[in-house]
Amino acid sequence: MQKEWTAVGGPIVLGIESSCDETGAGIVRDGKLLAHVVASSMDEHALFGGVVPEIAARAHLQAFNPVVREALDQAGLRLGQIDAVAVTTGPGLSGALQVGLAGAKTLAYAAGVPLYGVHHLAGHVAADTLEHGPLPTPCVVLIVSGGHTSLLLVRDLVREPILHLGDTLDDAAGECFDKVARIMGLSYPGGPAIDRAAREGNPRAVDFPRPLTRPGDDPYAFSFSGLKTAAARWVEKHRAQGIDLPVADGAAALQEAVADVLTRKALAACAAYEVKTLIVVGGVAANSRVRGLAEQRCAAAGVELRVPPMTLCTDNGAMIAAVGDLLVQSGAEPAPLDVSIDPSAPLEYASLTPLPQAGAGVRAA
């Protein structure tokens, strides 16, 4: 049975994130962030040029308890004062998700509170609420990360189904950055490395393609595999001819192509659905050119742009707690005791167990 809230005000929700290489714990109450702690195993993965699932799972095991303790200390709370636990149940790396779910179940059982299974991408959407308040209804959300690129129409995040306007058909934007950075000899993760290198480059130096932007193409779908290949061939051509690779120019041109495609399609969706707010979330939302071009184009179109702080763009437990906070206050049913992970969970609802009224009469605008 769900216990009564511990004090005047809304429930205190502890969020756990472990879908990839960050172990995150966050605490949220009434949409306010009380604690935000992340431990990353990125340095270990950098030795291999990408995330190694077994290393990630072991790192989560080592970091879980310290991260949760630090979050409770940061908020000035004891575990017994927590009213609910929310945890990422998918998508993500199987072993990594298992560690987070097992730990979250233990915490919920020890505290005698309900557990909520949360979709990782819904967490990214909710991260913006911790900085800017409730989501406008409706809003267009652009999710851009290492594994995901999606354009969504969101109304009530926890009560209504999430409408996918478009998704990536192959490589995600962040994946493109990672792979091209490796080809160029830059460090992992590729996104920040490309961003740093691009500061000294000319974005017009290389005419990289803008995938799926021609008339007749799907207006909201994404594809970055061809762009990755074009960048690889550009690098190979320079090396075959024995010419020094102008890394800064290549990085700037690649970044410009990605930012152009992302923001062009996002603003087209806002216009088509008559939405006045664009929210950009996910790790690639920290990219300076993606942010800068989004600001320019939103200002020109009269669209409000909302982007979370960089610390909330990458994977973290605070965003999962933010979804949990919304679920608890909306009266959502907790996850069943036998809740399990879904490494390839499609984004349909924010929760594993949607509210009974979810989806009633909801249509695309």
Tell me the pairing of strands 304-306 and 22-29: unpaired
Omega of the bond leading into 189 within 30 degrees of 0 (cis): yes
Length, in residues, of the chain: 365
Average pLDDT over residues 73-96: 97
The pLDDT confidence band at residue 51, using thresholds 50, 70 and 90, is: confident
Residue 163 reports pLDDT greater than 50: yes
Residue 363 reports pLDDT greater than 70: no
pTM of this structure: 0.91
Residue 317 reports pLDDT greater than 60: yes
Listing DSSP states for 276-303 in one string gives -EEEEESGGGG-HHHHHHHHHHHHHHT-
Question: Which residues is 154 bridged to in the sheet?
Answer: 139
Average pLDDT over residues 329-356: 85
Query: How far lies 274's CA from each of 40, 155, 278, 286, 294, in Å?
Result: 39, 13, 11, 26, 17
100 and 19 Cβ atoms separated by less than 8 Å: yes
The pLDDT confidence band at residue 158, using thresholds 50, 70 and 90, is: very high
What strands, in cross-sheet order, belong to the sheet with 139-144? 163-167, 149-154, 139-144, 277-281, 304-306
Average pLDDT over residues 73-101: 97
**Cα(192)–Cα(190) distance, integer angstroms:** 6
Residue 360 reports pLDDT greater than 60: no
Q: Please report the pLDDT score of residue 275 as a whole number.
A: 98
Average pLDDT over residues 6-30: 90
Q: Please report the pLDDT score of residue 353 as a whole number.
A: 60
Q: Please report the pLDDT score of residue 334 as a whole number.
A: 95
Q: Please report the pLDDT score of residue 5 as a whole number.
A: 55
Residue 338 reports pLDDT greater than 60: yes
Residue 3 reports pLDDT greater than 80: no
Q: Please report the pLDDT score of residue 54 as a whole number.
A: 85
Q: Please report the pLDDT score of residue 361 as a whole number.
A: 33
Q: Please report the pLDDT score of residue 237 as a whole number.
A: 96
**Cα(341)–Cα(327) distance, integer angstroms:** 18
316-347: buried (b, 16+ CB within 10 Å) or exposed (e) per residue?
Answer: bbbbbbbbbbbbbebebebbeeebebbeebeb
The pLDDT confidence band at residue 40, using thresholds 50, 70 and 90, is: confident
